[in-house]
Amino acid sequence: MTARIYCFANQKGGVAKTTTTVNLGACIAAAGRRVLVVDVDPQSNATTSLGINPRTLEVSLYDVLIESRPVHEAVTLTEWMNLDLLPSSTDLAGAEVEMAGIMARERLLTRSLAPLAEKYDYIFIDEPPSLGLLTINGLTAATHGVVVPVQCEYLALEGLSLLLNTIRQVREVLNDRLVIAGVVLTMYDARTNLGQDVVDEVRNFFPKEVFRTIIPRNVRLSEAPSHGKTILSYAPLSAGAMAYQALAQEFLARAEGARVTA
């Protein structure tokens, strides 16, 4: 079966986008699916979160996109069975300038991922916190839509109109299958009224797309990346781990319907 490709995008930083990409991917891999995380962010946070040092890489996504290296040379194993990584490096910071002169530059990632389509059940693209050419590549490659993490904090919806406009433009010109596959509420603090106010506001704005599972603000989720581990490895009994496991089941039920088993 051809992989379902999702990109995780929000041009606002600090919304737990990478945390969601990595930990949802780990939980889905733990449920028996073959998952590839693609790190399209020059900051390489998904790469380091999965225990890979981007400074020691011989081949990264940059080499695949710009130097036309075979994508399988860049794919790296992680500590989790069924969970692989297509890593980023700081070289990717200059990629947008170099991509500007390449024919069909918006489809570079689509072409790069094509040889992997039969190897994985899910491909998760971790986008940079911007709406530049790297993000456009991720949106164009996404066969099954965009997952938008939104933090439960003041001005949570600020700037989302820009993302929605970009999604609309990509759908019209580059990827007519592009939809919002889901909205994940993150960094929820049950002790404040503000948190619930934001939940209500986002659910009113995205009545069908918001996942029921809400990801709490959890110190273990913040600590795990500094140890190069997913939350399932670092603190499997934490509130954060349980939330992402619940989100994974909801995600799989939405993606696969009656087929979902774990």
Residue-wise pLDDT tens digits, 211-255: 999 999 999 999 999 999 999 999 999 999 999 999 999 999 999
Find the mean pLDDT for residues 6-29.
96
What is the model's pTM?
0.95
Looking at the predicted structure, is the pLDDT value of residue 258 above 60? Answer: no
What integer pLDDT is reported at residue 262 of this predicted model?
43
| Region 86-109 average pLDDT | 90
For a pLDDT cut of 70, what percent of the chain falls above it? 98
Q: What is the pLDDT of residue 156?
A: 84
203 vs 154, higher pLDDT:
203
Mean pLDDT for 45-55 is 95
pLDDT band, very low/low/confident/very high, at 82 (cuts 50, 70, 90) = very high
Enumerate domains of the chain plus CATH numbers: 4-256 (3.40.50.300)
pLDDT mean over 6-17: 94
Examine the pLDDT at 260 and tell me if it is beyond 70.
no
Query: Residue 193 corresponds to which amino acid?
Result: N
